[in-house]
Structure 1
Amino acid sequence: MTTLASLRKIPVTALFGMAMIAIFAFTAIFAGWLAPYGETEIVGMEFEPWGGEFLLGTDNLGRDMLSRLIYGARNSIGIALLTTIIAFVLGTALGLLAAVLGGWTDQALSRLIDMMIAIPSLVFALLLLSIFGTSIGMLILIIAVLEMTRVFRLSRAVAMDVVVMDYVEAARLRGEGLVWLVRREILPNVTAPLVAEFGLRFCFTFLAVSALSFLGLGIQPPTADWGSMVRDNAALITFGDITPLLPAGCIALLTVSINFVVDWMLHRASGLKD
């Protein structure tokens, strides 16, 4: 009964978002079992229509679109999630360090982050990928470093409000170390905004990976990726075929679903009443 009562308090938009996230996660995890064909397997002619043997037709090389969409969920979401985790860990660690230590450490880190934020992230990513190559590892590293800057600013801002509290000062006077202060006094009190930021940061990272793949500098062929699938099949739009909109729709649906859940989490953390 308690669980049912809790579910009734969750907005319909948040429930919809959770359901969609669960479906995408299930698809990504079990892509190998759900896809009727291999990720790079050529099974027919180019641009075969929907129906029959190929439920969603084939792409520009004769690969099954449904299979590519399923494998694209695993690749696009998996790479974006790993990138977000790296960016979040790095940005949060540096932000909390700057807030707790203050002084020249805070100034040096903050000015460095300001310099990086001053350059548009997509342009910066395109430049760095052109210089260092477009391998999966380099893609993850570059986007993680760029997205880390936003996480740094938020974690530093929320931590600055906590480090001036009396209980933190009391812990300093007791002689507690830096790690103890961050782990026991600061981090538990800034968890809510950081969790919400993780969801938003995943959306931005996911869109950045898809945009770079669409431009040809992200996930490289023959790996299935929703961004590159839009580019590869864009010619079908000329003939009134909506196939290129399928991966684009997946990108939009996942992004909107995550935002629904994040909005609800922020509303709960704020303590406001409906």
Structure 2
Amino acid sequence: MGFAASVILGLAALFAIAWALRAAARATFSGQVRSLAHDIPLTASFGLLVIAIYTFVAIAAPALAPFPEREIVGGQFQAWSAEHWLGTDRIGRDMLSRLIYGARNTVGIAFATTALAFVVGAILGLWAALVGGWLDQALSRFVDALMAIPALIFSLLLLTIFGTSVLTLILVIAAVDATRVFRLARAVAQGIVVMDYIEAAKLRGEGSWFLIRREILPNAMAPLVAEFGLRFCFVFLAISSLSFLGLGIQPPTADWGSMVKDNATLITFGDVTPLLPAGCIALLTVAVNFVVDWQLHRASGLKEQ
């Protein structure tokens, strides 16, 4: 069976499992869980299944990987075999093991970066919309200046200056993406802060933190949750791109972006191994977007016809 046929068969199997799990949830559960299972489209079920698989692989990587992440276990670029299911890389490390550990490193760092960007960007955006005046203008113009610089070029510049450690990578990409979160949070909050219940809370003497936490954030949650999924995809792709360029997650740590770069020479010989980490990146990106589309549809209040 060819590689393309195997990929199509694998995706079809995942869709079949997602459909079966959705049907089982509809038949087994009751109440809100059953209603949610009834409303969820097949694409979102597929996305949730893929995300669950990636999460499990990331958590259980040491138990699932046949070899340690950094250990040289064979010769250079060995072919697929019973001992090394996906062969070895350019210095003899097991590709399957590094692919599994790559889920923990790439996805884990991307999630931590996205969470940090969201905490900083959302709080500042909601605060700027609530306070207004000179604070809103100062933060907005500062964010506009940062967003005028292409994100990848800005990230490359900062990483070149401050180094390429994992902590630096997280802080740099979080700072770049927090500007996008700030703009969305501020735009959403500006339509909320003029509502009567905000004025009533102000007349009660409530402070800014109470207003953000109890009044504004719950009403802005739907678009922010959807943006979190989209932003995770952008951060995930940005980290992979930086690793491919040599300024992301540094060797010998397993990372899907650097794995594509390190094994790209195999494509010249018709070997599809470098496409596997690229496929892992693409599959997770599509899965997250499926779930985000579903959440946006739910937040819009529209119903399937």
Matched, 1:123 2:159: no
Partner of 2:247: 217
* Off by >6 Å, runs of 4+ in structure 1: none
Shift of 1:4: 4.1
Match of 2:238 among 178, 185, 208: 208
Percent of aligned pairs with the same amino acid: 69
Give 2:201's aligned amino acid.
Answer: A
Matched, 1:191 2:226: no
Partner of 2:170: 140
Partners of 2:80 and 2:38 lie apart in 1 by 40
What root-mean-square deviation, in Å, do the aligned CA atoms of Structure 1 and Structure 2 show? 0.8
DSSP-derived class of the 1:162 partner? coil
* 1:193-240 deviation digits (Å, cap 9, x = unpaired): 111111111110000000000000000000000000000000000000
Q: Aligned in 2, Cα 1:111/1:21: closer, same or farther, shift over 3 Å?
A: same
Partner of 1:78: 108
Match of 1:36 among 66, 71, 91: 66
List aligned pairs for 1:8-47, cutoff 5 A: 8-47=38-77
Partner of 1:103: 133
Partners of 2:104 and 2:204 lie apart in 1 by 49
Partner of 2:83: 53
| TM-score of the pair, normalised by structure 2 | 0.89
Give 2:158's aligned amino acid.
Answer: L
**Which consecutive residues of structure 1, in runs of 5 or more, have no partner in the other structure?**
none
* 1:11-47 deviation digits (Å, cap 9, x = unpaired): 1100000000000000001101100000001000111
Shift of 1:172: 1.0
Partners of 1:89 and 1:6 lie apart in 2 by 28
DSSP-derived class of the 2:37 partner? helix
Partner of 1:68: 98
**Which consecutive residues of structure 2, in runs of 5 or more, have no partner in the other structure?**
1-28
Partner of 1:244: 274
| TM-score of the pair, normalised by structure 1 | 0.99
Partners of 1:61 and 1:206 lie apart in 2 by 26
Q: Aligned in 2, Cα 1:4/1:163: closer, same or farther, shift over 3 Å?
A: closer
* 1:31-87 deviation digits (Å, cap 9, x = unpaired): 011000000010001111112200011111110000000000000001001000100
- How many residue pairs get matched? 274
Greater RCO (CA < 8 Å, at least 6 residues apart): 1
DSSP-derived class of the 2:69 partner? coil
Partners of 2:187 and 2:285 lie apart in 1 by 26
Partners of 1:235 and 1:109 lie apart in 2 by 46
Partner of 2:143: 113
Shift of 1:8: 3.0
Give 2:298's aligned amino acid.
Answer: R
Match of 1:92 among 122, 147, 153: 122
* 1:155-185 deviation digits (Å, cap 9, x = unpaired): 0000000000011011111211111111111
Partners of 1:9 and 1:184 lie apart in 2 by 29
